[in-house]
Structure 1
Amino acid sequence: MGVFVSHTTFVIERDLPGSPAHAFRFWSEHARKRQWTSCHPDWAVLEDIFDVRIGGLEKVRWRTLEGVEHGYRAHYLDVVPGKQIIYAYAMNTGAVQNSAALATVEFVGQRGKTKMTYTEQAAFLDAADAKGRSQGTEMGFDRLALAIERSLAVAH
């Protein structure tokens, strides 16, 4: 029996405070990225590898309170500091692969701010929810903007 695959592409734009170099740090520095990507504080982190460079790997595995394991694996294809990141990633629940995607993040300075453009081309396997992915990504970027705002408030 084959696996049902659905495809989607979505683009999310965000105006972020500060420079592109500062916004880039929240994607490329481990502690800063976890400020906005750690959205399930009650999940146990089983593994957390973070190496943002061309050829680098980011891998995170979690266990829910119910004992279900979730995973995220990203391979960085292109990294230009302060400009762009291109990576391929996959997500799973237990041994079941949920999705695979190609993501591009672009940073452009505009009058003291950064326009971030995120483009994702994804393949969802079986019952994985494409709409839920874009909504979850939007929520993550809300946390990203807040983390950047907080970092700039502390600096001033």
Structure 2
Amino acid sequence: MTERFVKHATFVVERTYAASPARVFQAWSDVNSKAKWFSKPEIFEFRVGGREYSSGGPPEGPVFTFDACYQEIVPEERIVYSYSLDSDDIRMSVSITTVELFPTESGTKLVFTEQGAFFDGHDTPEIREHGTNEMLDALGKSLE
């Protein structure tokens, strides 16, 4: 029998972008803008209670599935969503994420906080944080 366990973790990643909070918020809230730096969603309902769903991966597999529900949206200030991440039919993790936007003299400071439950060693907080750093770098490039 396979050993079952859960690892809980919280990590915070910060970025400063030379773009206004309105522009950074738009990069999260508009389906075409978001597709420039995140996987193109099959479902995109950017509203409280709305769903974002995407699946895909390399041709040889596995298929990764991101299934999110927006919990709170404060335009140009905060986005909170909960989501599950699967690899094929294996649930890797469930998380709650808070994205905060703060105006700065030269643009926007983004604070990304993820609190997750990572299941049975299929994913780790360290791997997720690394992926989040790459994702926020891609967001920055899309804002240039």
Q: Return the TM-score normalized by structure 2.
A: 0.93
Equivalent residue number for residue 86 of structure 1: 80
Note the C-alpha offset of 1:112.
3.2
In the alignment, structure 1 residue 72 sits paired with structure 2 residue 66: yes
Deviation per residue, 1:121-145 (Å, 9 max, x gap): 0110011121110000001101101
Stretches of structure 2 lacking an aligned partner (at least 5 in a row): none
What pairs with 1:34-49 in structure 2 (closer than 5 Å)?
34-38=35-39, 48-49=42-43
Note the C-alpha offset of 1:67.
4.2
What pairs with 1:1-156 in structure 2 (closer than 5 Å)?
3-38=4-39, 48-127=42-121, 128-149=123-144
Note the C-alpha offset of 1:15.
0.3
Q: Which structure 1 residue ranges, 4+ long, deviate > 2 Å from structure 2?
A: none
Taking every aligned residue pair, what percent have the same amino acid on both sides? 36
SS in 2 for 1:37: coil
Amino acid in the other structure paired with 1:65: P
CA RMSD of aligned residues (A): 1.5
Q: Distance in 1 between matches of 2:130 and 2:62?
A: 22
Note the C-alpha offset of 1:22.
0.6
Q: Distance in 1 between matches of 2:78 and 2:8?
A: 24
SS in 2 for 1:35: coil
Amino acid in the other structure paired with 2:86: N
Task: Report how many aligned residue pairs link the two structures.
Answer: 142
Note the C-alpha offset of 1:3.
2.7
Amino acid in the other structure paired with 1:123: A
Q: Distance in 2 between matches of 1:99 and 1:17?
A: 32
Q: Distance in 1 between matches of 2:52 and 2:4?
A: 26
Amino acid in the other structure paired with 1:28: S
SS in 1 for 2:60: coil
Note the C-alpha offset of 1:13.
0.7
Amino acid in the other structure paired with 1:80: V
